[in-house]
Amino acid sequence: MNNSTRDFIFGDGNTMNSLFRQFSMGAIAFAVVQTANAQLSITNIVPMEVPGQGTEIRVMFNGIPPQPAAYQLEQPSRLVLDFEKAQQKLQQKVVPVATKEANSVDVSSDDQRSRLTVNLANSGAFTTRVEGNTFILKINSAETAVKPKNTPVQQQLAKGVSNIGFQRGMDGEGQIVIDLLGKDTPVDVQQSGSKIIVRTIGNKIPTHLARRLNVNDFATPVSTIDSHNDGTNGVITIQATGGYEYMAYQAENKLTISLKRPIDQNAAKPRSATSYTGQKLSLDFQDIEVRRVLQLLADFTNINIVAADNVSGSISLRLKDVPWDQALDIILKAKNLDMRRTGNVIWVAPVEELIKFEDNQAKAIAQSIKLAPIQTEYIVLHYAKAADILKLLEDSRDSKGAESNGTSGGGSLALESLLSARGSVVSDSRTNTLIINDTAVNIDKVRKMIDLLDVAVKQVMVEARVVTADTTFARELGINWNLQRGNPSLALGPNGSTVWGGDFSPKFDLGVELGTASAGSFSFGLLKISDYMLNLELTAMQSDGHGEVLSAPKVLTGDKQKAYILRGDQIPYQTWSAESGVTTTFVDANLKLEVTPSITPDGKVQMALKIEKDTLGELTLAGYAIKTNELETNVLVGDGETVVLGGIFDDAKSNTYRKVPFLGDIPVVGNLFKSNVKTNLQSELLIFVTPRIVNDSVSRNH
């Protein structure tokens, strides 16, 4: 083949070399682009300070930088940037910054992304931009005045405050709910002494909301809520009273500030069912994926969080000083999610999916119980009676389940709550034994119940003392006038007393007898006229009496078991009727102590007491009267302590005068024609009770 033919087919040498070079360079360029796209990575990080503006952190890539997902954390202040599908080839894991706005940059990466964590000196605003292969993060200086930008009317309407409300929480906390026009409305929350100050940056509060709300009557830490405008910013001042703790969190367009009293650290005090104990954190998210937030919480708590496949969507949150478990609860409620925790793993899924899963799980358990083999168990009771346990089960059984199993009228039991549908229980009173026929799982349930109920009961000795004390005092003074004649011996006067003045004996009475019935007397003659003598008899008596009756009944009984002790007489009474004639009935006159003690968890005794003390009274025409003293109360007393339950004090005073009309009214001389009887009767009843726990060494579940 000649040169012309070869050149026509293949071209000359210069042409072939040019085409080959063009093809090779195109292939190499295509390969370089593909390699760069496949292995995008961070090559360098250069921080620098811009005087008067802030700090710039330049992140250099080997290609076009991707747009990162950015969110800010507080306590400590951090700014997190996640670059998806980007690697890092830096030898240095911590890049120092040392400016007024930032301290350092932490670099980390995995197979999916690279993360830059900027440790801020103070939380502030930031901006980002891209210049070629360099991503520039600018952190604005805190000293720079924030001037609102001119925005279109549509954006102005999408920001600001639409409503300010207040509500009282379940645990007595005060909740200020601020409705925002847009979820991206800039809000700053700061604490200043007893005040919480909320500022809406660049957005004023509407005129109808600029007022004071007095919420002091709701019994929360919040006293007043003042709203006003300061320039272009809206200011909401929350005034608190006393000690308080506060949290601020935002879910979508609702900002909630919650103030509550400090939690009592007393371990004996029960916690609220909705109390949160997790470590506090602050988050600021704007349209971040829910799965990303869950991953952030997992990194913060070192707890494994597994999200279901259908957990999706984004959320905007602003949380400040909120426990992480409450933050998780807020996220789940906002997206209609729920969780189930097992050990160190939390499973997050939609509510409907969890309900369906638990329903299927319950059906599987029921099916396994239905197919499980039947076993027989003999349980011997030590303290409780088998019949009582069986009756307890009968009182709580499902009557329909019992009827379906044909055991509703017999001695066995089909209990749906503790036993399966195929299970039954019978009792043997002679050996105090329960015979259970059921699956192993249900037998364990019954055994667990018996372990709680079949325990020794503490014994309580209750001693009562009923003390009755009587004090009597009486003083009598009187005068008896009479006239006597014809007594030769002159030895005996009226009433057998000695007289003087002649031989006279009483013939008639003058009708002036004011003497006492049972008193000492002294008689003497005053005037003798012929055969007559005027006699004066003085009588006087004084008596004191003291009496005390002590009754001390005591009884030993078990915890929460009623007991009584009684002693007394039966007094007969006869009645007559035309039909039955004379009949005899008996009335009780007893000393009775009735008590039901209950031992509290702190070792005290709660007693329901009834004490009666009857005594025989005076004899009447119908028979003897019965004096009754009775007390019924409920009292809490410490072990071994004595308490005075009550008492009755009677004080009866009497002062009786008798006198001769006209003569008894004469001054001084009238005392000779008077009789005075003075009595004082005092009676007091006191009741003392002392409980003592006997067998303290035996433990019991209260």
- The residue assigned the tokens 């009588």 is 539
Supply the angle between the helices 324-334 and 290-301 in degrees, to the nearest 10: 160
**How many CA atoms lie less than 13 Å away from 381 in the CB half-sphere?**
28
State how far the Cα of 172 lies from the Cα of 170, in Å rounded to an integer. Answer: 6
Q: What is the pLDDT of residues 359-405, one digit of tens each?
A: 888 888 777 777 888 888 898 988 888 888 888 777 766 554 444 44
Contact, 169 vs 175, CB < 8 A?
yes
Which single residue is written with the structure tokens 């000359």? 12
The predicted pLDDT at position 468 comes to 82
Give the span between the Cα atoms of 136 and 114, in whole angstroms.
16
Lowest mean pLDDT among 39-43, 367-371, 534-538, 611-615: 534-538
* pTM score over 0.75: no
Grouping H, G, I as helix, E, B as strand and the rest as coil, residue 85 is coil
Strands 87-88 vs 41-50: parallel, antiparallel or unpaired: parallel
Cα 209 to Cα 195: distance, rounded to the nearest angstrom: 19
The reply to whether omega before 553 is within 30° of 0 (cis) is: no
DSSP calls for 215-246: -GGG-SSEEEEEEEEETTEEEEEEEE-SS-EE
Q: How far is CA 226 from the centre of its chain?
A: 33
Which one, of 160, 163, 238, lies nearest residue 201 by Cα? 160
- What pLDDT score was predicted for residue 268? 43
Pair type for strands 433-438 and 245-251: unpaired
Residues whose CB falls within 8 Å of the CB of residue 648, separated by 6 or more in sequence, listed in order: 629, 683, 684, 685
Quick check: 469 pLDDT over 70?
A: yes
Query: What mean pLDDT comes out for the span 528-538?
Result: 65
How many alpha carbons fall within 13 Å on the CB side of residue 284? 21
Backbone angles phi, psi at 399, to 5 degrees: -65, -35
Q: Are 321 and 110 in contact (CB under 8 A)?
A: no
DSSP-based three-state secondary structure for 179: strand
Distance CA 260, CA 48 (A): 44
How confident is the model at residue 124, as a pLDDT?
66
C-alpha 87/C-alpha 65 separation (Å) is 11
Provide mean pLDDT across the span 275-285: 80
Q: Kindly tell me the burial class for residue 513, based on how many C-beta atoms sit within 10 Å of its own C-beta (0-12, 13-18, 19 or more).
A: middle
Rounded distance between C-alpha atoms, residue 32 and residue 53, angstroms: 38
Contact 136, 128 (CB under 8 A): yes
| Residue 363 confidence (pLDDT) | 85
Looking at residue 520, its pLDDT comes to 58
DSSP tag of 382 = S
37 φψ region: left (φ > 0), alpha (ψ -120 to 50), beta (else): alpha
- Mention every residue, 6+ apart, whose C-beta is less than 8 A from residue 351: 336, 337, 338
Residue with tokens 């009587």: 470
pLDDT tens digits, residue range 293-318?
888 888 888 888 988 888 888 888 77
Mean pLDDT value of segment 84-109: 83
d(CA 700, CA 702): 6
Q: Which residues pair with 317 in a beta bridge?
A: 251, 285
Q: Nearest-CA neighbor of 246 among 190, 328, 302?
A: 190
> How many C-beta atoms lie closer than 10 Å to residue 135's C-beta?
25
Least confident of 392-396, 497-501, 615-619: 497-501
Closest by alpha carbon to 456, among 701, 205, 635? 701
CB 419 within 8 A of CB 446: yes
> Can you state the angle between helices 440-453 and 386-395, rounded to 10 degrees?
120
HEC states along 322-335?
EEHHHHHHHHHHHC
Taking CA atoms, 24 is separated from 16, 18, 455, 569, in Å, by: 12, 10, 93, 129
Report how far residue 431's alpha carbon sits from residue 417's, in angstroms, rounded to the nearest whole number: 26
What proportions of the chain, in percent to the nearest 5, are helix, strand and coil? 20, 50, 30
Using CA atoms of 85, 89, 91, 93 in order, give the dihedral in degrees to the nearest 10: -10
What's the rounded mean pLDDT across residues 541-570? Answer: 82
Q: How many residues does the chain have?
A: 702
d(CA 501, CA 529): 10
Average pLDDT in the 153-177 region? 76
Query: DSSP assignment, residue 460?
Result: E
Euclidean distance between CA atoms 107 and 45, whole angstroms: 10
Helix (H) or strand (E) holding 6: helix 3-10
Q: What is the pLDDT of residues 649-702, one digit of tens each?
A: 888 888 887 877 877 778 877 777 778 888 888 888 888 889 988 864 444 443
Side chain identity at 59, as an amino acid letter?
Answer: V
Q: First CA to last CA across the chain, in angstroms?
A: 115
* Per-residue pLDDT, 193: 80
Higher-confidence residue: 669 or 406? 669
Q: Which long-range contacts (CB under 8 A, 24 or more apart) does 438-443 make?
A: 438/374, 438/375, 438/377, 439/369, 439/372, 439/373, 439/374, 439/375, 440/372, 440/375, 441/369, 441/372, 442/369, 442/418, 443/375, 443/377
Mean pLDDT (whole number) for 214-238: 88
Task: Label residue 289 by pLDDT band (50, 70, 90).
Answer: confident
The DSSP secondary structure of 539-572, one letter per residue, reads EEEEEEEEEEEEE--EEEEETT--EEEEEEEEEE
- What integer pLDDT is reported at residue 68 of this predicted model? 82
pLDDT computed for residue 331 by the predictor: 86
Spatial distance between the Cα atoms of 492 and 476, rounded to a whole number of angstroms: 24
Instruction: Collapse the DSSP code of 78 into the 3-class scheme (helix H, G, I; strand E, B; otherwise coil) and give the result.
Output: strand
User: In the structure, what pLDDT confidence band is assigned to residue 147 with cuts at 50, 70 and 90?
Assistant: very low
How far is the C-alpha of 484 from the C-alpha of 490, rounded, in Å? Answer: 10
Q: How far is CA 109 from CA 47, 84, 98, 183, 503, in A?
A: 20, 10, 23, 31, 145
Residue 537 has pLDDT above 80, yes or no: no
Question: What does the mean pLDDT of the chain come to?
Answer: 76
- Token pair of 199 as six digits: 């500022």
- C-alpha–C-alpha distance, residues 540 and 188, integer Å: 99
- With 0-12 / 13-18 / 19 or more C-beta atoms within 10 angstroms meaning exposed / middle / buried, residue 32 is exposed
